[in-house]
Structure 1
């Protein structure tokens, strides 16, 4: 609630007028809307991907944050240098209450106009965050047919990348369908969200839809023979920051990751970069990566006591900023390079400076 009050105060201080639609329709999700598989092939020896989260800008003019523009410039510079091929975005695509329909101007003002360079004109693969579900989440899926780079085929889907000598699966989840949302809002706008008491996810609103996705997840993980197997969701499993661990995912998803030798889990939600590790059932490490700082960042360590010191390898930022939730911060993002030998992940601040680097090996062939 304190962060919401700071956000409201900040908007008043800077005299920003609320513009646009403040309410969204309630959308019921049909079965055919839920899952899909996408296969991408590349003749090169490496895949070069940007991993971002919480890119959603601001709900009022100018509809982007200082951090978002700063990170976008750093992403563009790196993408041009490295010839990035894809972007993976782990949710909260439009703050604070998503979009009203597939023609909502927020797609342009908070996405297309921000990432409008040649180097970033590559396929972006997205999933929904809790803020996207406050609005018309099906409109975000529908928008895929209007954009050259926004790819959101279903609420959850599987990405398969094949290149010379190696393969990679990324199982893209909807953790809000799995675990529930963070506020009791069904048809709310900006001020409803701002004043509504937030809470940890308390269980799915539709248990049947959740169970269907759980079954699909296990099917995807158990059948994957990829050299690298990643899972991406908006809510983190483990996190030391403001929101902390998501109990629903700790209870049900984490055991699946360890059982099926998943290489890493990607998340956003907390506006930080984090790298956490735990051993899996094969004696290898499962990596938990948070990248939720593409339009705002904060140094929260509220849940530091949930992760042992030896399991926490990195977190960023570390400096305090009272206006971080308004996006007056550096922001951050991650660059990944995948080859047959290893996957290297660079954790970068909003200036494009590398703050940390980690690598992981392909999954053992004996466990496939």
Structure 2
């Protein structure tokens, strides 16, 4: 529609007709003299200039945002392809607890477990823990029945409640878990924001610098201990031993850890696990594994064989401790460096470990149910430091 001004004539006092300007209802501004056309044009120009300026700024912001997203996406895709978790600091800190699985009757947790959970929360906040490792026997006495079993809540979610413990928990299954449905524990990975057990055995890698990798190899020692296939699978029905060796052989990490439920070496009630001494220990030595973490015996132990770089850490006191040392003579001479187990058969006392790793040093600290440091140990990596 055209914008226009109409001109009408009114009679004045002397009888002459004087033109009177009438503005179109679609025009803006004061009508008269030079302002008639000029003022609306200036107003529209200013509006257009403001519009263009806002549009340019918006486009620049979009370009910057897209560039950032592309960079982050490419980095994440690269890490995903290599199965790396990139750590935005120069060390990795985490907690380790085994045999924390409460009890089969109400309230479905023990007082020691509750105390351990409290101290774990405090320590996790103190060291800025990035995750927790659960070493099996997650639910006493007979595991869980299905993915909706209430024990996931009463023994786990409602016990380890500290905000600092809401990061991922890397889980393995213990013998008591296999009495129930281990498939349900695997399936719970998709139901919980922090429970993580994607399979019976799996590996995770963490990058704390462009060329510095820490690898964790999680295994199911109950399957290994009950297998009748020996160390090497006779057929594909028991592939875990082959997977373990292939995974260790392929590792290029500067720290390499294997984590399972049963001990290789232990002086406590259950003692050494024969199949692991026979089959796993040689692999740990051959592929220069830094350490093996386990539970099963309800104590805290550290063992180290002479002429071997492998450290053995037992952290199985998540819901009680056991004082028995029935297998003192069944471990290599002088290998026991530390043992913790109060003099009660099943005490209301528990403990856990926390670990910090940087490019050269690993420290392991054992902490009891009251927050007291029981043991502190450091070691340097013996693997390739150049990556």
**TM bin (shorter chain):** 0.7 to 0.9
Shift of 1:73: 0.6
Q: Which residue pairs with 2:263 in the alignment?
A: 236
Q: Which residue pairs with 2:323 in the alignment?
A: 299
RMSD of Structure 2 on Structure 1 (CA): 2.1
Q: 1:220 aligned to 210, 229, 247, which one? A: 247
For 1:360 and 1:219, the matched residues in 2 are separated by 26
Q: Which residue pairs with 1:287 in the alignment?
A: 311
Q: 2:383 aligned to 342, 364, 367, which one? A: 364
Q: 1:245 aligned to 272, 286, 292, which one? A: 272
For 1:217 and 1:237, the matched residues in 2 are separated by 15
Q: Which residue pairs with 1:121 in the alignment?
A: 166
For 2:114 and 2:385, the matched residues in 1 are separated by 45
Shift of 1:82: 1.2
Shift of 1:364: 3.1
CA distances 1:32-86 after superposition (whole Å, capped 9, x unpaired): xxxxx95321111111100110110000000000110010011011111111111
TM-score of the two chains, using structure 2 as the length reference? 0.75
Query: Secondary structure at 1:365's aligned position in 2?
Result: coil
- Aligned pair in 2 of structure 1 residues 273, 163: CA closer, same or farther (>3 Å)? same
Query: Secondary structure at 2:165's aligned position in 1?
Result: coil
For 1:248 and 1:118, the matched residues in 2 are separated by 39
- Aligned pair in 2 of structure 1 residues 240, 367: CA closer, same or farther (>3 Å)? farther
- Aligned pair in 2 of structure 1 residues 180, 307: CA closer, same or farther (>3 Å)? same
The answer to whether residue 381 in structure 2 is matched with residue 331 in structure 1 is: no
Query: Secondary structure at 1:239's aligned position in 2?
Result: coil
Is the 2:118–2:162 Cα contact (8 Å) retained in structure 1? no
Shift of 1:367: 11
Q: Which residue pairs with 2:106 in the alignment?
A: 61
Q: Unpaired segments of 5 or more residues in structure 2?
A: 1-81
For 1:73 and 1:114, the matched residues in 2 are separated by 9
- Aligned pair in 2 of structure 1 residues 130, 367: CA closer, same or farther (>3 Å)? farther
Q: Which residue pairs with 2:148 in the alignment?
A: 103
Greater mean deviation of Cα atoms: 140-149 or 210-219:
210-219
Is the 1:180–1:203 Cα contact (8 Å) retained in structure 2? no
Q: 2:224 aligned to 178, 192, 208, which one? A: 178
How many residues were matched structurally?
304
Shift of 1:284: 4.6
Q: Unpaired segments of 5 or more residues in structure 1?
A: 1-36, 182-200
- Aligned pair in 2 of structure 1 residues 214, 367: CA closer, same or farther (>3 Å)? farther
For 1:209 and 1:354, the matched residues in 2 are separated by 45
For 2:266 and 2:284, the matched residues in 1 are separated by 16
Which structure is larger by alpha-carbon Rg, 1 or 2?
A: 2
Q: Spell out structure 1 runs of 4+ moving beyond 6 A.
A: 201-204
Q: Which residue pairs with 1:192 in the alignment?
A: none
Query: Secondary structure at 2:94's aligned position in 1?
Result: strand
Shift of 1:210: 6.7
Following superposition of structure 1 onto structure 2, how do residues 130-279 of structure 1 map, counting pairs within 5 Å?
130-164=175-209, 166-180=212-226, 208=235, 211-279=238-306
For 1:91 and 1:243, the matched residues in 2 are separated by 15
